[in-house]
Amino acid sequence: MVIEKASRSTLVDQVTTQIEQMIESGQWKIGDKIPAEPQLMDMFEVSRNTLREGIQSLVHVGLLETRQGIGTTVKSNSNLALALEKKIRKSDLLEALEVRLGFEREAAQLACKRRTAEDLIQMKICLDDCKKTAKSHDPFQFALMDIAFHKSIAKATHNKMFSELYEHITDALQNSIDRIMRIKKPANFENEIHTDLFQAIEARNSQLAFESVTHYLNDAIETLSTIINE
């Protein structure tokens, strides 16, 4: 058997893959400054040129950011998140909300089938946080708590790929949610707390969960349509 020596391009790929893994695992978080070159060279057992080439490739795709006087920091924790964010930013917001509608319908129905008692506890905590922020009349904080509630439903599907995709999509859609909440009056917050959805998942009622998701997201799409028309 002939063993081929690792080429420089192969070593660069290995460096970028390992850095990506450290970022995605949370070992290096967004905003963190990555270790100095000598430390990274020892860590990955590569030359300075190979290391710099690997880092530059990650800067190019948007995972890392290099600024003069600061160094290289983590800009994003996922290539997938970056791709989705760019796509949603370039897309029509109504189309983006329709995609979210499809994801949340499926998440709600899967959660009805697979949720555990622990999942329900986490959903209830998030739902209570929504109620608290509704009373504070802070639409942007409410939007964050609302997203946390829906993410807890996605996690209750117990499908890691689905949960990860949904999390990236909802994070990328934060701007569209902010735009909707800007024209919502605080008095309407109580109507947007998804007690009915929580109860449907608790009762394992897939049809009711489906209808609940359809209702509130269709309202969001209608509201956004009003903004655009005005």
For 64-73, give one letter per residue: b (16+ CB within 10 A) or e. beeeeeeebb
Supply the pLDDT for residue 125. 95
Supply the pLDDT for residue 3. 35
Supply the pLDDT for residue 6. 45
Supply the pLDDT for residue 127. 93
Closest to 200 measured CA to CA, from 214, 186, 210: 210
Main-chain phi, psi angles of 26, to 5 degrees: 90, 0
Which domains are present in the chain? Answer: 8-77 (1.10.10.10), 85-229 (1.20.120.530)
Q: How far apart are CA 141 and CA 149, in angstroms?
A: 13
For 13-23, give one letter per residue: b (16+ CB within 10 A) or e. ebbbeebbeeb
What is the residue whose two structure tokens read 């902010």? 178
Supply the pLDDT for residue 138. 75
3-class SS of residue 65 = strand
pTM equals 0.63
For the chain, 230 residues long, give each residue's pLDDT as a single digit of tens.
443 444 455 788 888 889 888 888 888 888 889 999 999 999 988 999 999 988 988 887 778 888 877 889 988 776 666 666 666 655 567 777 788 888 889 999 999 999 999 999 999 999 999 888 888 777 777 777 888 899 899 999 999 888 878 877 776 666 555 555 554 444 455 555 789 999 999 999 999 999 999 888 888 777 767 766 66
